[in-house]
């Protein structure tokens, strides 16, 4: 899932029923999700770096393998 402003690859699948989407739509939805995840993690890292002088910071990112 990703916010609409991160839908850079189109057309993208918006259905939980993947059988209703083309392979290209599924791949584009995946690419959009990766784009958003990359942005989100960069924001978290920036926040941690900004607070490192005041606090001991750490981040643990555990990814799901994404199998449907």
In tens digits, the chain (68 residues) has pLDDT values of: 899 999 999 999 999 999 999 999 999 999 999 999 999 999 999 999 999 889 998 899 888 776 66
Using the structure block, give the residue that is written with the tokens 């981040």: 59
50-60 burial code (b ≥16 CB/10 A, e <16): eeeeeeeeeee
Q: How far apart are CA 55 and CA 33, in angstroms?
A: 31
Burial classification of residue 33, based on how many CB atoms lie within 10 Å of its CB (0-12 exposed, 13-18 middle, 19 or more buried): middle
**pTM value?**
0.83
């Amino acid at each position: 899932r990703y916010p609409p402003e991160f839908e850079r690859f189109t057309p993208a699948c918006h259905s939980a029923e993947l059988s209703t989407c083309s392979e290209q739509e599924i791949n584009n939805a995946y690419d959009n999700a990766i784009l958003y995840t990359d942005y989100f993690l960069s924001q978290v890292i920036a926040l941690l770096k900004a607070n490192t002088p005041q606090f001991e910071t750490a981040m643990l990112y555990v990814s799901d393998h994404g199998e449907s």
